[in-house]
């Protein structure tokens, strides 16, 4: 818990609905803010800048709260896996996928995390999957599909200059991004159990390792490193690092450990809805009657899901090392 004068703040004291709403609103706004990052700097390099700044902010925040920053090397492997999956591989696959697919289709595919997280929690931690969860998830995903129906019609065709093979590659990359992020969520659950450090410290270390993995890939692939001169780039970078990376991810990982990864994944279903509302306001986007109906279905599905009984992962089940390896998609 941090203090500054009469101000006291603690993630644990924040209500679950507030954590959920904050995550959705922030990540929903990042779709618009990211547009100010495109063009002058390679996407992977921008990711390194973003998570590098986010890591620094997290460590400084934890230090201000008087928390111990160091995590022993024996406890780092889980944080490395979480960082590579949540902040490294998932983001690299997403950016690469958008080279072949329109962003709307990628956003819709990320709604699959509702299923991936529920299946992962069942496989690795023994959480129960109910018909209530399945039906609510299906309703929400159907709503997102309708919301992006016009964009999806064009998305099902390769981008100009891209072959059908490229479209298939983009589709596989986008699905891979969702699987990587979901696997990272499973690791985050285990991190919350075995680490006595606060979520700020563990998120800072995970983000650090994820940033290093992206930097290594950018160097290996010959990406051009440059510093943009436009103030709007740095202002958007500050927002993405502070709100999109630090606050949103910390709130989300807190949410995972409180209500479980299955229900926490509904933040990813509502995020495209927020991005559409912002696009309607600032970019003149008009989803039409079908899209608005789909938005209603999406909201109804999420409301149906979160009104059910909370089913966090069972605290008495510990994933063995072999399961953690399986969760990362790696081979022993």
pLDDT in tens, the chain (332 residues): 444 443 345 556 778 889 999 999 998 888 778 778 777 888 889 889 999 999 999 999 899 988 889 888 888 999 999 999 999 999 888 877 776 765 656 766 777 787 788 888 888 877 777 887 788 888 888 887 787 676 666 555 555 555 556 677 877 888 899 899 999 989 988 888 777 668 889 999 999 999 999 999 999 999 989 888 888 999 999 999 999 988 998 898 888 888 887 778 788 778 877 877 787 777 666 767 887 788 788 778 777 776 665 444 444 444 333 222 222 222 22
- According to the model, what pLDDT value does residue 9 have? 53
- Which residue is listed with tokens 């997403």? 94
- Give Cα separations from 131 to 118, 259, 263 (angstroms): 12, 18, 14
Whether residue 182 contacts residue 120, with contact meaning beta carbons closer than 8 Å, is answered with yes
Residues facing residue 4 across a β-bridge: 7
Paired sense of beta strands 7-9 and 2-4, if any: antiparallel
Return the structure tokens found at 165: 């093979």
Indicate the burial class of 63 (C-beta count within 10 angstroms; 0-12, 13-18, 19 or more).
Answer: middle
Phi, psi of 32 (to 5 degrees): -75, -40
Return the structure tokens found at 133: 């969860």
Residues facing residue 196 across a β-bridge: none
- According to the model, what pLDDT value does residue 87 have? 92
- According to the model, what pLDDT value does residue 59 have? 95
- According to the model, what pLDDT value does residue 37 have? 79
Whether residue 189 contacts residue 261, with contact meaning beta carbons closer than 8 Å, is answered with yes
Using DSSP, state whether 198 is helix, strand or coil. Answer: coil
Report domain extents, the chain.
15-328
């Amino acid at each position: 818990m941090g203090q500054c004068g009469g101000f006291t703040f603690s993630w644990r004291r924040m209500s679950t609905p507030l954590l959920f709403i904050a995550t959705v609103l922030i990540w929903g706004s990042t779709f618009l803010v990211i547009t100010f990052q495109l063009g002058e700097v390679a996407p992977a390099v921008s990711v390194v800048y973003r998570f590098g700044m986010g890591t620094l902010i997290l460590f400084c925040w934890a230090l201000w709260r008087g928390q111990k920053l160091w995590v022993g090397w024996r406890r780092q492997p889980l944080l490395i896996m979480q960082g590579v999956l949540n902040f490294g591989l998932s983001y690299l696959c997403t950016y690469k996928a958008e080279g072949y697919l329109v962003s709307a289709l990628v956003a819709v595919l990320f709604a699959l995390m509702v299923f991936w997280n529920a299946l992962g929690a069942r496989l690795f931690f023994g959480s129960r999957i109910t018909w209530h969860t399945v039906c609510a998830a299906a309703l929400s995903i159907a709503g997102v599909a309708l919301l992006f129906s016009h964009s999806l019609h064009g998305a099902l065709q390769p981008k100009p200059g891209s072959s059908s093979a490229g479209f298939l590659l983009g589709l596989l990359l986008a699905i891979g991004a969702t699987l990587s992020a979901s696997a990272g969520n499973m690791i985050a659950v285990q991190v919350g159990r075995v680490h006595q450090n606060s979520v700020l410290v563990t998120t800072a270390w995970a983000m650090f390792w994820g940033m290093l993995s992206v930097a290594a890939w950018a160097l290996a692939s010959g990406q051009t490193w440059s510093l943009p001169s436009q103030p709007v780039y740095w202002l958007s970078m500050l927002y993405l690092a502070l709100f999109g990376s630090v606050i949103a991810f910390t709130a989300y990982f807190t949410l995972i450990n409180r209500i479980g990864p299955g229900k926490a994944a509904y933040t990813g279903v509502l995020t495209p809805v927020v991005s559409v509302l912002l696009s309607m306001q600032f970019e003149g986007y008009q989803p039409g009657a079908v899209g608005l109906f789909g938005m209603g279905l999406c909201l109804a599905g999420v409301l149906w899901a979160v009104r059910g009984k909370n089913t966090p992962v069972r605290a008495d089940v510990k994933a063995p090392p072999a399961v953690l390896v399986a969760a990362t998609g790696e081979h022993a």
